[in-house]
Amino acid sequence: MEPEIFINFKHYNNAIGYNSEKLLSEFGTINNQKGLYYCIAATDLRLQKTFPSLKIFSQHVDSNSYGAFTGSISIESLKDIGIHGSLLNHSERRIQSSVIEETVKKSKALDFEIVLCVENLDEVKKYSILEPSYIAYEPPELIGGNVSVSTSKPEIIEQASKLCSGKTKFLVGAGVKTRKDIDISMDLGASGVLIASGIIRNAKPINMLFSLTDNR
């Protein structure tokens, strides 16, 4: 089974605006795009129109619909420009539990995919009953580091993946940088990974992404 790889562009200077477009153009040269998702900044989501063959996700979405909600990113507005999924509750943008519940419930009604980020096993247990499309486990202390969660906490990955059986797929994040990290995660029950700096901050992001996807 091919891994699902979600690449979070975050707000890195080499992945915003023109640089975001340049990265997407390079990533688009990978022939097999199955399982590849690109989570880009709100200001760049218009690029879905430029790269219609790529699966582009938002980095955040709000629970409200259209209306007097200054600064909001609604599911409806994302779908209007061809975006059909988003990260939610990333460690760098945590939101209240009640808002998570509202947003996931709405996403299911609107056929919109949510990658719900969690920080520990308790949150996996708590939110798995909501059945979001994905739950991504990212211990905050490992984000951006050189130690993969698949190496440091394999027992939690195995437990979490079992809690997510059924309609919710399980992703592993934080410190993921190599094919071995992905292989270990999938052997423990994950469907794939959520990765940011391991690709985006690499000197050659396209080469790094290719190394994670080729010849699996």
Q: What is the pLDDT of residues 149-161, one digit of tens each?
A: 556 667 778 888 8
Mean pLDDT (the chain) is: 90
- How do the domains of the chain map onto residue ranges? 4-213
pLDDT in tens, 46-92: 999 999 999 999 999 999 999 999 999 999 999 999 999 999 999 99
The distance from CA 76 to its chain's CA centroid, rounded to whole angstroms, is 19
Smallest Cα–Cα separation from 157: which of 112, 129, 192? 192
Instruction: State the pairing for strand pair 4-8/192-195.
Output: parallel
In DSSP terms, 85 is beta-bridged to 113
Q: Quick one: DSSP state of residue 60? A: -
Residues 6+ apart with CB under 8 A from 162: 189
Higher pLDDT, 148 or 165: 165
Q: Which residue has the higher pLDDT, 85 or 175?
A: 85
pLDDT digits (tens, 9 = 90+) for 81-138: 999 999 999 999 999 999 999 999 999 999 999 999 999 999 999 999 999 999 999 8
DSSP letter (8 states) at residue 120 = S
- Architecture of the 4-213 domain: Alpha-Beta Barrel (3.20)
Nearest one of 105, 20, 27, 2 to 59, comparing CA atoms: 20
pLDDT bucket at 215, cuts 50 / 70 / 90: very low
- CA nearest neighbour of 117 among 146, 154, 143: 143
**Residues in the chain, total:** 216
CA dihedral angle for residue 14, residue 15, residue 20, residue 24, rounded to 10 degrees: 100
pLDDT at position 152: 60
Residue 195's pLDDT is what?
A: 93
Name the token pair of 96.
């209240």
Q: Is it the case that residue 143 has pLDDT exceeding 60?
A: no
Residue 176 has pLDDT above 90, yes or no: no
Give one DSSP letter per residue of 64-109, joined into a string.
--SSS-TT--BHHHHHHTT--EEEES-TTS---HHHHHHHHHHHHH
Other beta carbons within 10 angstroms of residue 202's beta carbon come to 15
Average the pLDDT over each of 1-15, 28-42, 78-92, 150-164 and give the range with the smallest value. Answer: 150-164
- The residues assigned a catalytic role are 90, 138
